[in-house]
């Protein structure tokens, strides 16, 4: 029998995505348009209209290979954010860029620093690639434990991931805190600032720090605020082109494809679509926070600055899987905390979305709290 090179490839943890609406509709007989999909952090208003229009008008060139460096997309990103195109690498989603970073900058058996809990892909990619996750446990109310994180930097991990806003908690580090991490990192440690959800924090993010640190890369995605999760487009940027060159050399040669390049290059300038999504999320965040204050079995973990938040289950007779399934029966999809390593059975991760979807979520929680039937 042919065997894989590592048991981690067959026995290690796998990423658990949010369930599709079709699964819930088929199992529970709920109309698709009534289901609140709150488990994948998708844009409440769908894809960028500018991206949709650009793709519709484009010559698909299905028979021709794309530019292997995604130059038209890199040029658009460079114009939007003020960096040289040679300082940008693109991939089929930000997750592909993360995998490239792990392979390019960390050897087998070497350490990668991250929070616990964290975006599961950091830990999964590290494990299956034979790298060693170095975990800093978050504190009470998911305090980032900056002192502890900085202390572990003294051990000179090869890569240090910072997610801002943090996934799965939605917490946001401010600039002095991010600078403290960058200042503490050894020159041989690559600091990766993952800003997948930064638009929802109502800040501009911290790409400007790239000019101060030549061991820093910032990651962005088109999946969230731009609404292109199904197109699969992401990128990394650094003011130091020496960090980008190995990533471009290690990436799958023909990723991204023509339509990904076309859609991303248009969407990056679609400020109106992003602003609309952010406004919806911020409004829903305030509504949900106010409504959950009156619940006895559930609590919204404070400090969210993203398009998702944590629901803590404070009723000891309930756990995350019981509530997760109860929500599914009522047409609401969230993320079960047991599927996010380091989070556990007292929490759910819940997206912020359109008002009607959030009202369905709140109503379902009240039903579960009172023991009402679905």
The 10s digit of each residue's pLDDT in 241-285 is 999 999 999 999 999 999 999 999 999 999 999 999 999 999 999
% pLDDT > 90, the chain: 94
pLDDT at res. 155: 98
pLDDT at res. 3: 67
Q: How many residues does the chain have?
A: 374
Enumerate residues 6+ apart whose C-beta is below 8 A from 92: 232, 233, 234, 252, 255, 256, 257, 260
**Rounded-to-integer distance, Cα 92 and Cα 32, Å:** 28
User: Does the pLDDT value for residue 4 go beyond 80?
Assistant: no
Q: What are the structure tokens assigned to 299, written together?
A: 């609590």
Q: How many CB atoms lie within 10 A of CB 126?
A: 24
pLDDT at res. 15: 86
pLDDT at res. 374: 64
- For strands 347-351 and 308-313, give the pairing: antiparallel
**Rounded-to-integer distance, Cα 288 and Cα 198, Å:** 20
**Rounded-to-integer distance, Cα 364 and Cα 164, Å:** 30
Q: Tell me if 162 sits within 8 A of 215, measured CB to CB.
A: no
pLDDT at res. 26: 95
> Which residue is associated with the tokens 């309930």?
318
What does pTM read for this prediction? 0.96
Q: What is the pLDDT of residues 192-228, one digit of tens each?
A: 999 999 999 999 999 999 999 999 999 999 999 999 9
Phi-psi map region of 134: left, alpha, beta (phi>0 left; psi -120 to 50 alpha): beta
Question: Facing residues of 111 across strands?
Answer: 132
pLDDT at res. 8: 74
Looking at domain 49-270, its CATH class is alpha beta
pLDDT at res. 223: 98
User: Does the pLDDT value for residue 333 go beyond 90?
Assistant: yes
> Phi, psi (5° rounding) for residue 172?
-120, 130
User: Does the pLDDT value for residue 5 go beyond 90?
Assistant: no
Q: What are the structure tokens assigned to 232, written together?
A: 């699969």
pLDDT at res. 351: 98
- Which CATH number among 3.40.50.300, 3.40.190.10, 3.90.1150.10, 1.10.599.10 corresponds to the domain 8-46+272-370? 3.90.1150.10
Q: How many CB atoms lie within 10 A of CB 56?
A: 8
pLDDT at res. 12: 74
Residue 103 to residues 9, 96, 146, Cα–Cα distance (Å): 15, 11, 26
Supply the mean pLDDT for the chain.
96
Q: Tell me if 298 sits within 8 A of 312, measured CB to CB.
A: yes
Calculate mean pLDDT across residues 56-81. Answer: 96
Q: What is the pLDDT of residues 94-140, one digit of tens each?
A: 999 999 999 999 999 999 999 999 999 999 999 999 999 999 999 99
Residue 372's pLDDT band (cuts 50, 70, 90) = confident
**Rounded-to-integer distance, Cα 169 and Cα 172, Å:** 9
Q: What is the pLDDT of residues 303-317, one digit of tens each?
A: 999 999 999 999 999
pLDDT at res. 276: 98
Q: How many CB atoms lie within 10 A of CB 13?
A: 13
% pLDDT > 70, the chain: 98
User: Does the pLDDT value for residue 38 go beyond 70?
Assistant: yes
Q: Where in the chain is the domain with CATH 3.90.1150.10?
A: 8-46+272-370
Q: What is the pLDDT of residues 218-248, one digit of tens each?
A: 999 999 999 999 999 999 999 999 999 999 9
Residue 11's pLDDT band (cuts 50, 70, 90) = confident
**Rounded-to-integer distance, Cα 257 and Cα 270, Å:** 20
Q: What are the structure tokens assigned to 327, written together?
A: 């929500």
């Amino acid at each position: 029998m042919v065997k894989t090179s590592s048991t981690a490839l067959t026995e290690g943890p796998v990423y658990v995505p949010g369930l599709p609406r079709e699964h819930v509709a088929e199992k529970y007989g709920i109309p698709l348009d009534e289901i609140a999909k709150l488990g994948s952090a998708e844009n409440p208003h769908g894809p960028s209209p500018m991206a949709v229009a650009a793709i519709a008008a484009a010559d698909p060139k299905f028979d021709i290979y794309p530019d292997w460096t995604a130059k038209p997309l890199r040029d658009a990103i460079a114009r939007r954010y003020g960096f040289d195109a040679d300082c940008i690498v693109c991939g089929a989603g930000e997750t592909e860029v993360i995998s490239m970073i792990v392979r390019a900058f960390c050897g087998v058996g070497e350490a990668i620093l991250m929070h616990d809990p964290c975006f599961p892909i950091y830990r999964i990619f590290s494990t299956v690639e034979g790298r060693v996750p170095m975990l800093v446990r978050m504190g009470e109310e998911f305090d980032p434990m900056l002192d502890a994180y900085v202390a572990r930097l003294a051990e000179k991990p090869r890569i240090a991931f910072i997610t801002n806003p943090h996934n799965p908690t939605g917490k946001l580090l401010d600039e002095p805190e991010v600078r403290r991490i960058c200042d503490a990192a050894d020159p041989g440690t690559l600091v990766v600032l993952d800003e997948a959800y930064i638009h929802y924090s109502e800040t501009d993010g911290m790409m400007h720090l790239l000019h101060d640190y030549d061991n820093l890369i910032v990651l962005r995605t088109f999946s969230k605020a731009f609404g292109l999760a199904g197109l699969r487009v992401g990128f990394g940027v650094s003011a130091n082109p020496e960090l980008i060159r190995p990533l471009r050399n290690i990436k799958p040669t023909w990723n991204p494809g023509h339509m990904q390049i076309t859609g991303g290059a248009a969407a990056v300038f679609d400020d109106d679509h992003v602003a609309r999504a952010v406004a919806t999320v911020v409004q829903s965040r305030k509504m949900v926070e106010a409504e959950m204050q009156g619940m006895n079995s559930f609590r919204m973990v404070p400090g969210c600055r993203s398009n998702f938040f944590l629901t803590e289950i404070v009723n000891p007779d309930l756990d995350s899987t019981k509530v997760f399934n109860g929500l599914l029966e009522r047409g609401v999809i969230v993320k079960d905390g047991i599927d996010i390593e380091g989070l556990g059975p007292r929490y759910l991760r819940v997206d912020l979305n359109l008002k009607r979807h959030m009202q369905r979520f709140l109503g379902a929680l009240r039903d579960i709290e009172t023991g009402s039937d679905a």
